A and B are shown apart, each in its own frame.
Chain A
């Protein structure tokens, strides 16, 4: 027998005869978390992610580009990493380049430009798949077009969120979207800029990931 078989054999020999009923997770959420309106969810999301030190701006559906430009200008950022294979990434590039902002695309494997990504990429722009009101959390499913390091390596991460995509809870999000049927290689919950309190319980932002997180929220009433 190998290690695997020995471990499993020991566990099988000792396992209780029955595990009982499935834990009633859904029941707990029904009795302990209310279902809120869109406006309430947006407000709750904003409250918690702002507490976690993120900046949130309400933007019109057709006009987020202007706010994106303003944010970059205010932060004196002249170059924005975009995902040109996505509609919002393409739109950002089309609109910003003519305003004098360079928009390199994450269009090749990281190995080919690791140094540039780590040292010469001040900001990145991605979309959020959805969000969670309860905790002020963005849900990102990075993919081939919008890779995972966009939300991690650049010091400023700007995220486009449709307020209509805010769920009440993490549980509701995974149920409503059928996550159990299949998850991408990497799925992320992000609830603020990177932080640490490892030195004398003093909070500091920008530990390893972005120092700043900016949310452009479409459709917040």
Chain B
């Protein structure tokens, strides 16, 4: 077991904020993230009352509705444990936008600012707090990593996912064209501007496939929904039974690679 970096207390307990997307659409990824944390000797607490960070309403121009939903989340983390979020965009919402959202509500602002200080994106937490260095138990493979725009630009954690993959001895990380470009998800953008969003995800999937990687991994399920949703649609269009671009959350990939008996 590795030590925490100097000056940062290694916590014994964390809260896990799953996000509504993981809860409903990628529960396996959430469970794998929890398992991964527990294997590092961390007690993971899943507040049963959690729902959604409020981001869908916030980015769509409905801050009042976002505030109501966010206000509920503020009550879920009473102990001063870190809050680990398996999504850069939801983490970014809680870390950077909650204080703005509650700027006019002094009592909640205090809570929001306090909470902001202990929000971690999952890969950031694994690398920066736990100093986690995954031991690869799998066979050689090539994957490609998609980092969400929020992780990259809002949370500034685009290096941590990459580092975790680089630590896996048998895993080659391919480099896609226009790596830093958005996949085109953008929440309601994908529904309101389907032509533009569609063009963006089409290009993204093409760039990911062009690397020849056997799968795409990402720390954000919003991007994965979009990327894998388009890749599967294209497979259907072109009559392929086997997915041309499988993908999964980085937690699932890391857990599998570091699990000896089931290193598939």
Q: Do chains A and B touch in the complex (CB under 8 A)?
A: no
B interface residue numbers (CB < 8 A to A)? none
